[in-house]
Structure 1
Amino acid sequence: MPGRPPRRHAVTIVARNYTGQARVLARSFQEHHPDVGFSTLVIDGEERDRDLQGVGDVLLPVDIGLDPRELELMQTIYDVMELATALKPATLRMLLRGGARSAAYIDPDIRFYDAIDDVFEAAEREGIALTPHTLDPMPRDGRRLDERDIMVSGIYNLGFVCIGARALAATSWWHERLRTDAVVDLANALFTDQRWMDWAPSLFGHVILKDRGLNAAYWNVHERPIHRVDGVWHAGPDRLRFYHFSGYDPTRGWMLSKHMGDRPRTLLSAHPELHELCTAYGDELREVGHLETRTQAYGLDELPDGLRLDPVLRRLVRSTWIDAIARGDEWGGVPMPFSDPTAFRAWLSEPEIGDGPVRLSRAAHATWSVRVDLQAAFPDVLGRDAEAFSSWCQHDPATAERLRDIAQGQTPVATVEESLRRFGWSVVAYAASELGVGEAGRRVSASMRATGLPTELIATSFGSASRRKHVPRATVRRDRGFENVITCVNADQVAMLSDRLQLERIEGKHIGYWFWELAEFPEDAPGLTAVDEIWTATTFTRDAIAAVTDLPVHVAPLAIPVPDEPTSFTRRVLGMPDDRFVLLASFDYLSVPERKNPTAVIDAYVDAFGPDDGAALIVKSINGALQPDAAERVRAHARGRKDVLFVDGYLSSAQMLGMLELADCYVSLHRAEGYGLNLADAMARRTPVIATAYSGNMDFQTDETALLVPYELREVGRGADPYSPTAVWADPDVAAASAAMRRLFDDRSLQTSIAQRAIDDIRANHGLERSAATIASLLLGEETT
C-alpha cells in the first residue's frame, strides 16, 4: 500500500548449540527495529525447533529453496562454520524473492546498540552494503590482526551484509560459488564466504559503509575505541550501532577474542570501557542459557547410522562433486549420505581407485590425499607404492580402526617383523622434541650408554605437539634393532605407541619410563597393560604408581650434568636485563599451567619488589601462541609492571641453559612436579633455587641446597585435565615465597652459599655415574642401593 515503509528483513544463521547468541541478537535488534522482520535459520534444525522462543521466526534449511540433493551435499562437504556461511546467499535470495526490499544477514555473535535504518536505505538505493574490516591503515607493529590476516580473510567482514532487491542477481552469483567453495583453504585463497565478496564492488552496485559504529570488533577497535559519551556507547567519534563479539567467550572474560593469537593489539586490561561492554554481553549470554546450549553436539557431524563425517570424508565428497560438475555430471554419482548412509559407506569402501593389481578404497585414498607425510612416504600411491600403502592402512591403528568403522568390520592383514637382537636395549624417546619428557629420554639414553650395555636411541614424535629441533648427541635410529625396549613416553601414550611399533610382539622386556606429577596415579591408565616393568625418575612418582599396580616399579634417577665451562651467552644476547637482579620462572602452556603455577610466582614477585628496586622477573614460556587466553590470564597478574618480562617461544637447549645460568635466582612455585628438570639444571649451574617443598624435586633438593617454600595440600579441582578434580596437590605459601625472593636479593652471601651446597650435592649424588650404576643394577637383576 502507498505510504507504507518498505519491507525489510534481517536473518542470522546458527546451529542449535548457538541459539543462545541468536536470542541476544534478536532481542537487541528488535528493540531498535520494531518494524523489521527477524528470522533465525537453524542449519541442523528439525521440525520441533520451529517452536524455539526468542529468536524471531525459525527457518530450517528446507525453507530456503535449494534442491534437496544440493542441500544434502552441502551439509556433507562443510563443517558447521562453513555451512553456516555457505547458506547466506541462498537465504538472502529467498527473503528478497519473498518480497523484502532489503535483507540483512547478521552474525549471531553481534549485539545492537542503535538502529541501522540508514543502512537498509543505502542497500535499497545502491545494491550491496558492505562494512570493511578497517577504515584506517593498519599499524605495522607486529600485533594481530595485521594486514596479512585481513588479506587472507577478505577486505569486508561478512558477519554483516545488507542486500537490496536491485542486487538480487548478486545472491545467485554468490550462491553458485559457495555451493562448493565456502571452505577454509588459505593456500587456494578461500576463506568461507568472505573472499568472494571482494569481487562485489566491481560486479554489482554497492555502498561501502564508513560509519565507525557499524561492525566494531576486535579487528578494528584500535581505530575506533569503545567509550561512553553522556551514557551512550560510541566507537571512536560515532555512535555504536552494533558490536561484533567474534571470538569472545564469557568464561574467559579477560580475553577480547580467541582469534587474536599470541600478539593481540588490544587487551581488555588496558581498555576498561571495552571490558565493561564485553562483560555485559557475557552476562546476557548467561541469562539466555548460552553456556548450557553451546555444549550440545552439532547435529550434522554424524550420519543417521552414526558414521562421523570427519574432514577427510568431507573433502573427499567435495572434490568428487567438483570433478563431477566439471564433467557436466551435476551430482557426481555420490550416494546421498544422510538419505542413504549404507550406500554411502559402500561407496567409500569400494576398492575403485587405481589401475594396477592393488586398488585402494576411496576412504583410504582420501586419507593419503590430505596428509603430506603419507604423500612423501608413498609418492606413487596408485602404482608401485600401492601395496605398501595398503599395508600401512591395515597396520596403522588409528587408520585401520577408521577404515573398519567406515566399512563396518573389515579386518586388517598382519605384517611379519624382521628378527631382532636379543641382547641389548632400544630406548624409544622424543629424541628431537624440545620438552621435558624429550630431555628425560635423552638422559636415559645417555645413562644407558654409560652402563656399557648394547643400546640405541630410537626417535618417535607420536603424541608430542612440541617443536622437534633438538639435535641429540647420540646417533638416532629410525628402526628398532633390539628385542628389549625402554619407552620414554608417559603412561597415556605408551599403549598407542606400543601399537604403532608392534611392541606386543617382542620376545624381550618392555620397560616404561614414566613421569607423573600427583600422589594419586590413575588406576585405569592404559599403559599399565602394555609394559612389563615401570621406571620412574623419583620416589614420589614411584610411590604413586606402585600403589595401583602389581608390576615392578623402580626409581632410575636421571643424571644431572654439571657443565665443564660457563655459558658463552651473555644476558644481552638472551634478552635479559644487565643491570637488575633477575629472577627466572619457566613453564609450558601445553603442560597444565595450573600445575606450574606461574601466576603465584608473579604475585610473589610483585609483593616482594617495587618497580624501581633493581629486580626483574622473567616469565619464560613456550606454546603460549597455542593458548592465548591462558597467556593473557597469566600476563594480567603482572598488573602492568614493566619489570615483569614475558618471553614466549622456543629457545635452543643451549640458550635455555644459558638463561638458567645467567639468572640470579630460579623460581618454581609448582603445585606438583614429576621431577623438575629446570630446577636441577639451575642448581648444576650455581643458580640459587626457590621451589615448593613438595613432590619429585624433593629427591634432589633439601633445605641446605634450595630455599624451599611451605605449602598446604588441597584438591586439584576442575579445569586441570588430565588430573582428577578430587586428587590433591600443593598450594605454596606465596607470602613465604615473596620473603625468600627478598631474602636472596638482600643477602648476596646467601646466594653464594646455597649455590655451592647445591652443586656439591649434585656432583656427589646425582651425576651420570650414579644414574648409570643404578640402571645397570636394575637391568642385570642386582640389588640397588
Structure 2
Amino acid sequence: MAAATTPTCVFTIVSKNYLHYALNLMESVAQHLPAAQRVVVLCDSTEGLESPPAGIEFLGIEDLGIAQVDRMLFQYTILELNTAIKPFAFRKLFEREALGSVIYFDPDIQLFSSGAPLLARLQQADVVLTPHLGAPLDDDRHPSDLSILQSGTYNLGFLALRRSADARTLLDWWSEKLRRDCVVDIPRGLFTDQKWMDLVPGFFERVCIERHPGWNVAYWNLQHRAVTQDGEGFKVNGEPLFFFHFSGYSIGSRAISKHQDRFELAQCSAATQQLFAQYVERLDRFGRSRYAAMPYAFARLANGISLPDVARKVLRLELLDQVPLPDLRTPAGAEALCTALLAPVDGLQPPLSRVALQLHRDRADLQSAFPDVRGAHRQAYLSWFAERAPIEAGLPDAWVQPAPGSPAAAPRPVAPAPGRQGATLFRTAYRLAWQSRNLLRPFTTPALRHKVRSYLVGRAFPPAATAPAAAAGVATAVPAGLNLIGYVKAESGVGESARATLRALRAVDFPLAVRDFQAGNVSRMGEQVEETAPADQPFAASLFHINADQLPLARTVIGEALFQVPRRIGYWAWELENFPAEWCNAFAHVDEVWVPSTFCQQAIAQRAPVPVLVMPHAIEIPAQVRPERARFGLREGSVAFLAMADLLSSAARKNPLGALEVYVKAFEGRQDDVQLVLKVSNGERDPAAMAALRALAARAPGVQLIEGYLDRPSLNGLIESVDCFVSLHRSEGFGLVLAEAMARGKVVLATAWSGNMDFMTAENSLPVRYELVPLQQDEGPYRRGERWAEPDLDDAAAKLRQVAEDAALRQRLGAQARVDCERQLAPAVVGRRMQQRLQLLLNLGEGA
C-alpha cells in the first residue's frame, strides 16, 4: 500500500508505575502497525528497569532537549508532566530524518485492528485528531457535554502528525504553551495539554477530524457506540474496532472509569465486558504487580523530601519568576527550593508558609471557613493545617512541621480549647464527614458538600479571641495610619480612583498622608489635591494607587521608605478576564491588593500570591443637582444624552464611536427632541479614532463634540445637565463616570459586562446585551486572543428610544440609581469598609 511507504514511529509516555500499560500498547502496535518504530518515552528515571523488550526503544525525558528541564520536572504533577512533554517528544522523534509521520497513543490504549486507515489519513493530512463526542450527551450523568467542552473537544490520548511545515509550527507553538500552562485549571480554561488542541483546526488547513466509530472508543462516547464481537473480532456500530481507550479504569472496580458515573461494567455489553477482562489479563502478563509498585523518581527532591502537588503549584506560580534557584535536581537546588517554599509570607506570628497559603487558596471550603487567613483567622487556619493537611492534602511532616532553624519553624499551632464553642464535637463531626465523603458523594451536590465542609471546618477550628500577637507590635512600632501614594492630581480615571479613596478615608477621619506620583502618566495634572506628610516618619501602611506595571518604577522613583512599612497595599484595576502574566512581578512589592470590583478581583486573584479584596470607588453623592444646559448647548425640553471617553484608555475599549453610531441608529431623521454630547479627551493620542468621531459627528444632527479636558466642577455640571449617560464600552474595571452619573440621579445605559455590573441592575439602569468576542489584534495593553464584550447595538438603540419617550422611566431609574449609589458607594460607606480592613491589618481599636 502507498500508505506504508512512509516510515512511521508510534510512541507513548509513561512513568515507571505505568510501564505495563505501555508494553501492552506496544505489543498491539506491533500486531496492527507492524512496520512502525515503537518508542516508550520515560517520564521518570530508568533506575530499576531492565533493557526494553526487542523492538521497543526507551527514550528518557532528559533526552528530549527541553531547556531548563529541572523546572518542568518539579513544577508539574505526575499527570501534568506526562502530558507536558508530549510536543517535545514529537519534536525529538521528527529529528529522525527518515520518519514521515509520528503517532502518539496514551499507554492505556490497545489496538484491535489494522492501522492502515490511519496511515492513509496521514498521506493527506498533517494532523489527525479524534473528537471526544460524535453526538450530544443528553442525560443527567457525568461527564456532560459541558464537562467535555471544559476539558477539550479532542481527546489527546491520540494524535498523529505528518512531517510538514504546519506540523513543525504546531509543535513549536504547543511546546511553548506547555512549558508553564500544562495544568488542570478548568476555571482558566486549561486542561493539561489537551485544551490547547481545540485551536488547531482553526490554525491549520490539513487537519483530519476522524469520526470513525471504532477509533478512540472510551467511557465518554460509549453511550453512542455499541461494542459487539464476532468471528472477525470486536466491532463498534458494525465497524471494526481500531483502538479502545481504557481511560480511568481501576482494576477490580465496578465502574468502567473513575472519571464517570454513567456506566458500570456489569451494565455493559458482553463484548465490552470481554474487552476489559482480556485487558486485565494482558496487563498482568506485562508485569502489573511489579511496575505498579515502582516509585516515581520526581516525587522527591534530591534531599529526600517528597514534593506535594501544592508545593509544585507554588513553584510554578511564584518561585520561578521571583526566586533564583539552582538546578532543582541537585542537593543545592532541593535545599533552595525547600527554603523558598517554607519561607513565611509575612513577618507575623505564627509563621504562615507559602505552601500553607497556597493550600488555602486552592480550597473554597477553607476560604469560607478562614476568610482572613493572614489576620484574625491565622491561628485557627494553622491549627487546621497542622492537624488535617497531612490527611487531606497528603502533606509530609516536612511541610507541616518544618525542621528547627528553617524559615517557617515555629511551635506546632495549638488547637482551640476543646470546650470553646463546642469545638471538640464539631471536630469529631468534621473527621467523620471527611472519612465518609466517598460514600456520601453520590447522594449530595457539590454545593451542599462545600457548604457543609465550610461550616464544620469553621466550627471545629474557631478563631482565637484576639489577633495574632505579632500584629500588636505593628501599631506601636510606627505611627498608625495610611500613606496614600498615587496619581492624585491626574485628570484621568486612575487619578479619580486615588481621589475616591481619599474621599472615603477622610469621611471616616482615618489618619492619612498623601503623596502625588506622576512618573509614567501623561494625563494633565490639574486636579487640586493637597499633599500632606506625617510629622516624623511614614505611617504603618502604604497604599499605592499606581498601576501594577508601574510599581517597580515607582519604587525606584519614590525610594524605599514607603515600601519598608509593615503593610503595603496595591490598588489596581484590570479590564479583562486575565491579568497579564508579565505584570505579576508587581506582587513582590505588596502584601495585598485592593480592587474596585469583583470583576477585577476575579481577574487578578487567579494569579495573585497575596489576598485580593474589593474596595469599590467612593462616589460623591451631591445634595443638589445643578444643571447648566445652556452652557453646554442643550435645549430645554430635549432629552439629552452624554457619552465620554479618554482615548488614553483605549478608544477600542471605551468605544465612543459605538455610542455615537447607536445614537444615529436610534434617532435617524429625528433631531428636535433629542441631543447627544460626546466629550473626548486626549484625542491627539489616537488620531484615527478621533478622525472617525469627528466625521460621524459632523454628519449627525443633534450631536455636539467636546474635545479636551474639563475641570471637575465643569465636568460635574455637564453630567448634571443631561438625562442619560451612555457607555457602550467593551470592558470596564469599575466604570467611574457611570457611577457618578447614577449618583446624580441620571439614567445610565451601558454594556452589561465587567466592573460596572457591581452597581448596575435592571432596577436602577438599562444594561445592554452583549456577546463576548476575542480581540482580533492588540489594543494597547489588551492582547489579541483575550475576550471582551461586543455590545448589541440593536438592543442599545431600542433602549435609547425608550429613554427618550418615557419620562416616568427616566425618573424611576434615576431615583433608584441615586438611592443604590448612596447605599453602596457613598464615601462614608466605602470609608468604613476600608477603615475596618486597615484596623484589622494594623490591629487598631475602633477609635483609630
Normalised TM-score (structure 1): 0.50
TM-score (norm 2): 0.46
